[in-house]
Amino acid sequence: VQMIAYVIAQAGLFNFVNHVEKVSGTSELRGLRGLSSKDKGLAVSSTILLLSLLGIPPILGFWGKLFLFLSAFNLPWLVVIAVINSAISAGYYIPVIREMFREGEEFRLVRSSERDSVIFASTLSIALGLIAPLLLVVVS
């Protein structure tokens, strides 16, 4: 489950970075300013993918991380390392989310296949996250 969640989120986020670079002309954080006011769908979708990587429920990444933590429960040192890794990841992802929702004029709305794939990946991540508990019942 974790691998599927990671692949979906990473594929969507790679397309997100590609789209942002085409639209704003830069891959730096400042290129994200104004995104939420110009393209709310892209901002929310990319936020969902970042939150999936962090393991926030009910997105698919949560279930992947939960299953990993549960399987490593007998190895507490491994759980501690995973929690530290998640905290470090939050330090990278949260500034990106914050920058997307800042005021700015750098971003403009442009339709593209990359943009559509980000929205698709986030929708898929939520949909699979909602049915993941059902899969757990079936597998058990």
pLDDT, tens only, 64-102: 888 888 888 889 898 899 889 999 999 999 999 999 998
93-139 pLDDT, tens digit each: 999 999 999 887 767 788 899 999 999 999 999 999 999 888 777 87
- Burial (CB count within 10 angstroms: exposed 0-12, middle 13-18, buried 19+), residue 64: buried
Phi-psi region of 34 (alpha: psi -120 to 50; beta: other; left: phi over 0): left
Q: How many domains does the chain have?
A: 1
pTM: 0.90
Counting every residue written for the chain, the total comes to 140
Give me the domain span that covers residue 71: 2-139
Q: Residue 140's pLDDT band (boundaries 50, 70, 90)? A: low
